[in-house]
Chains A and B, each alone.
Chain A
Amino acid sequence: MEAVFFWVFAAGLLISASALVAFRNPITNAVCLVVALVMQAALFITLEAFFLAAVQVIVYAGAVMVLFLFVIMLLDVKEEARRKPPWAKIVAVLGIGGGAVFGATKIATLFPFSGKTLQWGESKGGGSAAELGRLLFTSYSPLFLATGVLLLVATVGVVVLCRRDPES
Chain B
Amino acid sequence: MNFGEITLGHYLALSSLLFLIGLAGVILRRSLLIIMMSLELLLNAANLALVAVGRFQGLPDPQVAVFFVITVAAAEVSLGLAILVAIFRIRKTTAADQLASLRF
Contacts and interface: CB of A to CB of B under 8 A. Distances in A.
Contacts of B6: 2-3, 6, 117
A166 to B, nearest CB: 15
Given A26-B31, A29-B37, A154-B79, A116 B7 contact: yes
A72 B33 contact: yes
B85 A75 contact: yes
A48 B55 contact: yes
B95 to A, nearest CB: 8
Contacts of A101: 13, 16-17, 19-20
Interface residues of B, number: 71
B28 A68 contact: no
Interface residues of A, number: 79
Contacts of A161: 79, 82-83, 85-86
Main secondary structure of the interface of A (DSSP, over half): helix
B13 A98 contact: no
Chain B interface secondary structure, helix, strand, loop or mixed? helix
Contacts of B36: 68
B86 A49 contact: no
A101 B16 CA distance: 6
A135 B64 contact: yes
A41 B25 CA distance: 21
A68 B63 contact: no
Given A10-B14, A51-B63, 9 more contacts: A29-B33, A43-B48, A47-B11, A49-B54, A75-B94, A127-B55, A132-B63, A162-B82, A162-B85
The 10 closest A-B pairs by CB, nearest first: A154-B75, A124-B58, A21-B25, A161-B82, A97-B20, A158-B82, A126-B60, A114-B9, A17-B21, A47-B55
22 contacts: A13-B18, A20-B21, A29-B33, A40-B47, A49-B55, A60-B74, A64-B73, A68-B36, A71-B81, A71-B85, A80-B29, A90-B24, A93-B27, A101-B17, A114-B9, A117-B6, A127-B55, A143-B68, A151-B71, A154-B79, A162-B85, A162-B86
